[in-house]
Amino acid sequence: MERKPNRTAAALLLVLLLLCGLFAGCQPAAEPAGPDAEGLYLCEKSFFAMDTYISYRVWGTSEEEAKDYGVLLEETFTRIAGMTDRFDPDSELSKVNAAGSEGLAVSAELLEMAELAIDWKVRTNGAFQVLLGSLSDLWNIGGEDPKVPEKTAIAAELQKLSEARLTLRGSVLSVEPEGVILDLGAVAKGYAADAAAKALRQAGCKRALIDAGGTVITIGTKTGGQLWTIGLQDPKEPQKLAGIIESADKALVTSGDYQRYFEQDGTRYHHIFDPETGYPANRLHAVTVLAESAALGDILSTALFVMGPEEGYQLACQLSSEGLAEVLFTLPDYSQKITPGWPGKR
Ligand code: AMP
Ligand code: MG
């Protein structure tokens, strides 16, 4: 199956986010070219990967160092994007899918994503299900001319899912039975953001902000030790902001029904599926997760979205008490529900 990247929507989103001041506190036009009060130079760019415009701001102790950090960030992101692109027959993920039950020895990074997927499938009671690639293909959300599939085709996918297994033996990853497709779309972007942040920190970068469309990760603080101010997109009117949070050294990840969808007979069908029904999950409009790891935030935003305002909220409160994540749910009436440690919104 061929997939056309949704560049127009991604470009629009980027423009809207910039207009809405996602990078509040960093005004591109007013930013001085030279060093700031802490002697740091800014490199600011955007690039296209994983169907999204990814914009970033990295600071270094010289202009050259800042640029080098930018190159490192883009290389890291692009490498993980390439590895997890299931529409590229040469990607590592496609090779795993092609190997099926025979299994394939995978890289440390793919192994880590698979381990996370296996663990969080259990902890989310099956809501996080990375083996729904063929269900996703059947719906073809974001592709050309998507339509609600026949009920019998969805039932066949559910039957396939009931037998689907993702297994790790050492570093050998296998997908069974025949026809089941591993899709890491709900974790790869967060994982790539973490990998980029880790590479930057290891290289000595002290301050950065990466916005990968619904996944924002920061390193350090703004000049003078101030927290980053991050705008939250309004799920009802995505060109507006629903709130603002302040954070440092954290990832903020959102899954929402407005990010990728089509409409048929007045109903919106989006890209996050309930593995129990085979239809897009319909209990929430959005879930935003604040966590140390963007990969975890990515997994949780998808899984809690599927689990909904009761079961999902229960798990979110447990995660909050464990210090793993704070969560904001946007309910069917667009009101919000937050976990006890959510940093507050204005
Ligand atoms: P996200 O935007 O992070 O919520 O991820 C959505 C993407 O993850 C979709 O485009 C699918 O590729 C995949 N996906 C959809 N539903 C699920 C699910 N229940 N569990 C895991 N992955 C999913
Ligand atoms: Mg996700």
- Among 25-29, 83-87, 266-270, 273-277, the minimum mean pLDDT is found in 25-29
Average pLDDT for 120-139 = 98
Please tell me which residue, 38 or 284, carries the higher pLDDT value: 284
Binding-site residues, ligand 1, Cβ < 6 A: 127-130, 132, 136, 183, 185-186, 255, 271-273, 275, 298, 301-302, 306
Q: In this predicted structure, what is the pLDDT of residue 16?
A: 40
Question: Two tokens at 18?
Answer: 């910039």
Q: Which of 15-24, 58-67, 93-102, 194-203 has the lowest mean pLDDT?
A: 15-24
Position in ligand 1 atom list of the atom nearest CA 187: 3
Q: What percent of the chain has pLDDT over 90?
A: 86
CB 235 within 8 A of CB 256: yes
Which mutation among 302, 304, 305, 327 tests ligand 1's pocket best, with the greatest number of atoms within 8 A of CB?
Answer: 302
pLDDT, residue 17, reads: 45
Q: How far is CA 41 from CA 59, 113, 259, 311, in A?
A: 5, 34, 33, 46
**For 17-25, what is the mean pLDDT?**
39
Question: Average pLDDT for residues 107-116, to the nearest whole number?
Answer: 98
As a whole number, mean pLDDT of residues 244-250 equals 93
CA 2 to chain CA centroid, nearest Å? 21
Place 33 in a pLDDT band, splitting at 50, 70 and 90.
low
Report CA(81)–ligand 2 centroid distance (Å).
14
For residue 214, the ligand 1 atom closest to its alpha carbon is 2
Q: Which atom of ligand 1 is nearest to the CA of 141?
A: 10
CB 196 within 8 A of CB 73: yes
Residue 188 CA to ligand 2 center (angstroms) comes to 8
Whole-number Å distance, alpha carbon 111 to ligand 1 midpoint, is 19
Q: Which residue's CA is the nearest one to ligand 1's atom 12? A: 185
For range 3-11, the mean pLDDT: 42
Given a cut of 70, is residue 38 above it in pLDDT? yes
Q: What is the mean pLDDT of residues 281-308?
A: 98
Q: How far is the CA of 327 from the centre of ligand 2 (A)?
A: 13
Pocket test for ligand 1, best of 273, 277, 330 (most atoms within 8 A of CB): 273
Q: Are 90 and 75 in contact (CB under 8 A)?
A: no
Of 27 and 332, the one with more pLDDT: 332
Q: How far is the CA of 124 from the centre of ligand 2 (A)?
A: 13
Average of pLDDT values for 2-19? Answer: 41
- Residue 322's pLDDT is 97
DSSP state of 282: -
Does the pLDDT at position 11 exceed 80?
Answer: no
Q: What pLDDT is stored for residue 4 in this prediction?
A: 40
- What is the spatial distance between Cα 114 and Cα 126, in angstroms, rounded to a whole number? 15
- Mutation probe of ligand 1 site: the residue of 118, 137, 272, 305 with most atoms within 8 A of C-beta: 272
Quick one: pLDDT at residue 142?
Answer: 83
pTM: 0.92
Residue 31: predicted pLDDT: 52
**Centre of ligand 2 from the C-alpha of residue 302, in Å:** 4
Residue 314 scores a pLDDT above 50:
yes
Give the number of the atom of ligand 1 that is nearest the alpha carbon of residue 127. 19
Confidence of residue 34 (pLDDT cuts 50, 70, 90): confident
Q: Which residues contact 83 (CB under 8 A, 6 or more apart)?
A: 91, 92, 93, 107, 109, 110
